[in-house]
Amino acid sequence: MKVYIVGAGPGDPDLITVKGLTLLKEADVVLYTDSLVSEELVKRANPKAEVLQSSGMALEEMVELMSERVRQNKKVVRLHTGDPSVYGAIMEQIVLLKQAGIEVEIVPGVSSVFAAAAALGAELTIPELTQTLILTRAEGRTPVPEREKLRDLAAHHCTIALFLSATLTKKVVKELREAGWSDDTPVAVVQRASWPDQVIVRTTLKHLDEEMGRHGIRSHAMILAGWALDPRLHEKNEHRSKLYDKTFTHGYRKGVSAP
Ligand SMILES: C[S@@+](CC[C@H](N)C(=O)[O-])C[C@H]1O[C@@H](n2cnc3c(N)ncnc32)[C@H](O)[C@@H]1O
């Protein structure tokens, strides 16, 4: 009596995990988030599987459907975009499924934040520049708790990844400025990371809002902000980790004295 909640990855159908793909191929029923999961991936399900889109369904309807099929001894895969644990609205499904006596197993996926970083060739945690990544969203119709306001989070001057914020860039810029971020802070936007029509925009805090308008980006975008996104890091040779420092000893390598 189990539903598998599977991370589909950011878009490229090859970015699902091996475990996720095996479950997808074995499933009798696939319920997927049609707005962001690739049809190419869904086509890899068993041709005999019942494949359903979730965008037109209410929570209760989805849970009722999944519970009913599980009770008929069918293998049910609920396919979510990216990694299900980030803005996946899975907890409300888990609660109702558990109330119906159905267990849930979650199979992680590649989140769009990491697909965006890959598209940019970025490391989000650059030694001695920033060692912290905050995943958050700007406040729009969905409220954000008072203690998590963007300007307060931004006081750390670390890398910030903004989901669900493409139409809120005026607010983003205002809050980051209030936190003391300079106008020249690098910002990179990746729309539809890993899809064939992926768009990359590299800009600065000052020009973020106008660049979003110029490129007509209003959805499916990951905004990454902070000095780890500085494109000049690709040429600089300043920030090195201790991990591969030959004078730094650790369990897998004895230190070598510096000349
Ligand atoms: C409901 S959230 C789901 C996030 C998903 N669980 C994840 O791990 O990527 C949808 C938001 O994720 C981001 N997103 C999802 N897929 C994306 C992609 N391929 N490229 C860029 N951003 C994406 C956008 O910010 C979008 O508004």
> What does CATH list as the number for 112-234?
3.30.950.10
Is ligand 1 within 6 A of the CB of residue 168? no
Beta bridge partners of 163: 137
CA distance 95 to 58: 15
Is ligand 1 within 6 A of the CB of residue 162? no
Distance 36 CA to ligand 1 centre (A): 8
Q: Using the predicted structure, report yes or no on whether residue 71 has a pLDDT greater than 60.
A: yes
Q: Ligand 1: which atom is nearest the Cα of residue 162? A: 25
- Are 74 and 4 contacting, i.e. CB atoms less than 8 angstroms apart? no
Q: Ligand 1: which atom is nearest the Cα of residue 164? A: 27
Task: Please give the C-alpha separations between residue 93 and each of 52, 85, 87, in angstroms, as whole numbers.
Answer: 16, 12, 13
Would you give the DSSP letter of residue 156? G
- pLDDT average, residue stretch 212-236: 95
- Per DSSP, the three-state class of 79 is strand
Distance 40 CA to ligand 1 centre (A): 18
Is ligand 1 within 6 A of the CB of residue 7? no
Is ligand 1 within 6 A of the CB of residue 123? no
pLDDT digits (tens, 9 = 90+) for 151-189: 999 999 999 999 999 999 999 999 999 999 999 999 999
Pocket residue to mutate for ligand 1, from 79, 112, 133, 192, most atoms within 8 A of Cβ: 112
Annotation: CATH topology of 2-107:
Cobalt-precorrin-4 Transmethylase; domain 1 (3.40.1010)
Residue 256's pLDDT is 57
Q: Using the predicted structure, report yes or no on whether residue 257 has a pLDDT greater than 60.
A: no
Is ligand 1 within 6 A of the CB of residue 116? yes
All CATH 3.30.950.10 domain ranges of the chain, comma separated, are 112-234
Distance 150 CA to ligand 1 centre (A): 18
Q: Ligand 1: which atom is nearest the Cα of residue 88? A: 6
Pocket residue to mutate for ligand 1, from 38, 222, 223, 224, most atoms within 8 A of Cβ: 222
Please list, in sequence order, all residues whose beta carbon lies within 8 angstroms of the beta carbon of residue 59, skipping any fewer than 6 positions away: 92, 93, 96
pLDDT digits (tens, 9 = 90+) for 23-41: 999 999 999 998 889 999 9
pLDDT band, very low/low/confident/very high, at 1 (cuts 50, 70, 90): confident
Residue 239's pLDDT is 72
Query: Phi, psi (5° rounding) for residue 111?
Result: -75, 155
Please tell me whether the overall predicted TM-score, pTM, comes out greater than 0.75 for this model: yes
Residue 53's pLDDT is 96
All CATH 3.40.1010.10 domain ranges of the chain, comma separated, are 2-107
Angle at 188 between CA 182 and CA 190, to 5 degrees: 155
Is ligand 1 within 6 A of the CB of residue 221? yes
Q: Ligand 1: which atom is nearest the Cα of residue 83? A: 8
Is ligand 1 within 6 A of the CB of residue 190? yes
Is ligand 1 within 6 A of the CB of residue 112? yes
Task: Compute and round to an integer the Cα radius of gyration of the chain.
Answer: 21
| Torsion from C-alpha of 197, 202, 207, 212, nearest 10 degrees | 10
